[in-house]
Copies of this chain bind each other. A is one copy, B any other.
């Protein structure tokens, strides 16, 4: 009778372990696809718009504008319709003169007549010992808000297949020639 008991106990333990292995499989599947934050990154990038006189320092230029606009000065109606292409340095701190760790390359345009609002499509391109690869972004930037979120729509290299969001904050704004954005990247899909 005691032998019987220990036999049943062995089955119980065996099956308990089996279910546990099963749990591990489920958990590792969850790990790939967790709903929680898998990586955070913080950068600044700096934009100096071409105004007809700063060719040497400019990192961006107006390349599209509505009928009432022009290409060396952001236009009226809160710059509605002004389209800008940029190749901006990315830095780890808020100093324009810090050594860049990558480039922010893409476009933005102003898209509301009543207030300043923009829309961005761009990449962070890294090629350093720290990071290799790119992170791709797209989304609306209602820039009068203190913080606003855009989507991380993909990535390559170290950021292969990533998704998430990026919180933008305007860290400085000087006239209509220079601005600096702080970007808090929160990745929720990491491969």
Which residues of A line the B interface, CB within 8 A? Answer: 4-5, 7-8, 11-12, 14-16, 18-19, 22-23, 25-26, 29-30, 32-33, 35, 50, 52, 61-67, 69, 71-72, 80-83, 85-87, 103, 105-107, 109, 111-113, 117, 119, 121-123, 125, 133-134, 136, 138-140, 142, 149-157, 160-161, 163-165, 188-189, 191
Within 8 Å by CB of A61, from B26, B29, B81, lies: B81
Return chain B residues, CB-CB under 8 Å to A16: 15, 18
Give bound CA distance, A72 to B150, whole Å: 31
Copies in the complex: 3
Min Cβ gap A43→B in Å is 15
Within 8 Å by CB of A22, from B22, B119, B133, B191, lies: B22
Return chain B residues, CB-CB under 8 Å to A113: 87
Q: Given A156-B139, A156-B150, are A52 and B67 neighbors across the interface (CB < 8 Å)?
A: yes
Return chain B residues, CB-CB under 8 Å to A150: 136, 156
Min Cβ gap A184→B in Å is 13
Min Cβ gap A135→B in Å is 9
Give bound CA distance, A12 to B18, whole Å: 11
Min Cβ gap A82→B in Å is 7
- Asked whether A66 lies within 8 Å of B67 as measured between CB atoms, the reply is no
